[in-house]
Amino acid sequence: MSDKKKDDISQEIEEKQPKGIGRRSFLKGSATAAFGLAASGLASGLGFPGIVRADKGKGPIKIGVLHSLSGTMAISEVSLRDVVLMAVEEINAKGGVLGRKLEPVVVDPASNWDLFAEKAKELLLKEKVAVTFGCWTSVSRKSVLPVYEKNNGLLFYPVQYEGEECSRNVFYTGAAVNQQAVPAVEYLMSKDGGEYKKFYLLGTDYVYPRTTNKILRAMLLAKGVPEKNIKEEYTPFHHQDYQTIVQKVKAFSRGGGACVISTINGDSNVPFYKEFANQGLTSGDVPIMAFSVAEDELRGMDTSALVGHLAAWNYYQSVKTPQNKKFVANFKAYCEKNKLPGGKDRVTDDPIEAAYFGVYLWKQAVEKAKTTDVDAVRKAAYGQEFLAPGGKVKLDERNHHTHKPVLIGEILKNGQFDVIWKSKGLVKPEPWSEYTSPDKGCDWVDHQGTFKKA
């Protein structure tokens, strides 16, 4: 055996399932609730040579589903697994892809970033999936990125993120910073948004919040906001005690004109909003603009004290289109039929929609390429359009990101959002921000990914 082939052979991985932390009661047992969950056991033997996914056109097409079904991120990620499986069921009912049924292989990386990489290896090297739909946090995506790039796998990533990435092996169906965070803060600075002049940037301590806030800080300074009017603070995953931080927000907001920009992720949102209300702060005093709180998180919270706070996304369940009405009804029915936690009371939200239409964009690319070969599918995906539940979306012709509308919503008492601002048409994604990297671009047609602008 050659040295190269030896290097390509994955070593056997010892199963290390971390204990789930911060898991919500309604999620208990959810790791086995959905139909057809493939056994994820890292059984003896990831000892497979470097990936070979020859498309022989026979048998089912395996696809990977890589979302946390336990741990602090299960509050958000379980629903992404559910909607991917719903899309698979829909596609299979209509004959599959290229006349072949899709076979989902579901694994649980359990909100453990190292385990994400191990599970990604399992999907690619052992299961030989044609594509993976997965990840939520940027740290989980960064963990699996080398695995997909080394083995030429394909990952569809469905969540808003901080940009500054241009991978050949990832399609980003969530928003870049210029499609969520930047327009949200610009709205708050506008007359319609309240002309806020003081910004408390509060987030979970990892890649997405820190990089997003680096961009927002640069933008605020460029627009004339003084340094003293910008406060920045981070808490660890699963942080529960926000008493001191909310006291700081109250002090920072004295004199008026202050808002909170929240990039808090996962189950820490529950104690943060609760403490905010406990200390008597309301959306009228200090509005919170959130980038990681959507309908799915709100369904497990007491929303009475959250009324009037804001979020920026590219889709809401309340969007009024014929296809969204059908999508919402289908998702509720799917959850009820499969006896998933929440059943018919489940909701849809932005990452759920992005996970859903990502499956269809991949399907369309495969059908155009007439093969599941990763390189052929990648090229066929450029420029693909799809009538998603919230409206038309389009994969960019060059940069692997998605053209989407931007919506700002106000939280209602029933846990839904009233859309109070919408962009004019689709917003082109910019992986590299004009505020921090004006000299960089992302192009996989005329350049090899990230390039330096002339």
For the segment 218-266, what is each residue's pLDDT rounded down to a tens digit?
A: 999 999 999 999 999 999 999 999 999 999 999 999 999 999 999 999 8
For the segment 184-199, what is each residue's pLDDT rounded down to a tens digit?
A: 999 999 999 999 999 9
Secondary structure E strands in 113-257:
131-134, 155-157, 170-172, 198-204, 230-235
Chain-centroid distance of CA 298 in Å reads 16
Looking at residue 34, what is its pLDDT?
A: 37
**Which tokens sit at 24?**
């919500």
Indicate whether 159 and 26 sit together in one domain: yes
Looking at residue 339, what is its pLDDT?
A: 96
Query: Does residue 436 belong to any structural domain of this protein?
Result: no
Indicate whether 230 and 116 sit together in one domain: no
Indicate whether 172 and 183 sit together in one domain: no
Looking at residue 266, what is its pLDDT?
A: 84
What is the residue range of 346's domain? 3-176+321-403
> 29-43, 46-60, 438-452 — which is least confidently predicted?
29-43
d(CA 279, CA 321): 39
Q: With bands split at pLDDT 50, 70 and 90, how would you rate the model's confidence at 297?
A: confident
Our count of domains for the chain comes to 2
Residues 239/204, Cβ–Cβ less than 8 Å: yes
β-bridge mates for residue 202, sequence order: 233, 262
Give the domain-ending residue among 403, 426, 446: 403
Indicate whether 387 and 304 sit together in one domain: no
Give the Å distances, CA to CA, from 180 to 13, 196, 312.
38, 18, 6
Indicate whether 134 and 76 sit together in one domain: yes
Give the Å distances, CA to CA, from 309 to 73, 255, 269, 417.
22, 19, 13, 10
Identify the CATH number of the domain in which residue 258 sits. Answer: 3.40.50.2300
Give the domain-ending residue among 268, 296, 313: 313
Query: Does residue 19 belong to any structural domain of this protein?
Result: yes
Please name the residue ranges forming H helices in 180-321: 181-189, 207-222, 243-252, 269-278, 295-298
d(CA 239, CA 400): 34
CA atoms within 13 A on the CB side of 77: 28
pTM: 0.85
d(CA 324, CA 342): 20
Higher pLDDT, 181 or 298: 181
d(CA 305, CA 218): 32
β pairing state of 198-204 and 102-107: unpaired
Start-to-end Cα distance in the chain: 47
Q: With bands split at pLDDT 50, 70 and 90, how would you rate the model's confidence at 302?
A: confident
Looking at residue 218, what is its pLDDT?
A: 98
% of the chain exceeding 90 in pLDDT? 83
Query: Does residue 368 belong to any structural domain of this protein?
Result: yes
Q: Provide CB contacts within 8 A for 339, sequence distance 6+.
A: 33
d(CA 54, CA 143): 26
Indicate whether 35 and 67 sit together in one domain: yes
Give the domain-ending residue among 295, 313, 331: 313
pLDDT over 70 (residue 360)? yes
Indicate whether 167 and 48 sit together in one domain: yes
pLDDT over 80 (residue 40)? no
Indicate whether 189 and 154 sit together in one domain: no
Q: With bands split at pLDDT 50, 70 and 90, how would you rate the model's confidence at 316?
A: very high
Q: What is the mean pLDDT of residues 327-347?
A: 97
Most confident of 44-58, 287-301, 377-391: 377-391
Looking at residue 144, what is its pLDDT?
A: 98
Q: Is 102 exposed, middle or buried, given 0-12, 13-18 or 19+ CB atoms closer than 10 A? A: buried
Indicate whether 245 and 380 sit together in one domain: no
**Cα-atom radius of gyration of the chain, to the nearest Å?**
21
Q: Around Cβ 21, how many Cβ atoms within 10 Å?
A: 17
Query: Does residue 227 belong to any structural domain of this protein?
Result: yes
For the segment 51-103, what is each residue's pLDDT rounded down to a tens digit?
A: 444 455 689 999 999 999 999 899 899 999 999 999 999 999 999 999 999 99
Looking at residue 111, what is its pLDDT?
A: 96
pLDDT over 70 (residue 416)? yes
Looking at residue 56, what is its pLDDT?
A: 56
**Which tokens sit at 164?**
């500054």
Query: Does residue 413 belong to any structural domain of this protein?
Result: no
β pairing state of 402-403 and 391-395: antiparallel
Looking at residue 57, what is its pLDDT?
A: 64
pLDDT over 70 (residue 30)? no
Indicate whether 102 and 91 sit together in one domain: yes
Looking at residue 9, what is its pLDDT?
A: 35
pLDDT over 70 (residue 182)? yes
Indicate whether 396 and 348 sit together in one domain: yes
Backbone angles phi, psi at 165, to 5 degrees: -150, 145
Q: What is the mean pLDDT of residues 390-415?
A: 97
Looking at residue 29, what is its pLDDT?
A: 37
Q: Provide CB contacts within 8 A for 310, sequence distance 6+.
A: 184, 283, 287, 288, 289, 290, 408, 409, 410, 411, 420
Residues 261/312, Cβ–Cβ less than 8 Å: no
Looking at residue 55, what is its pLDDT?
A: 54
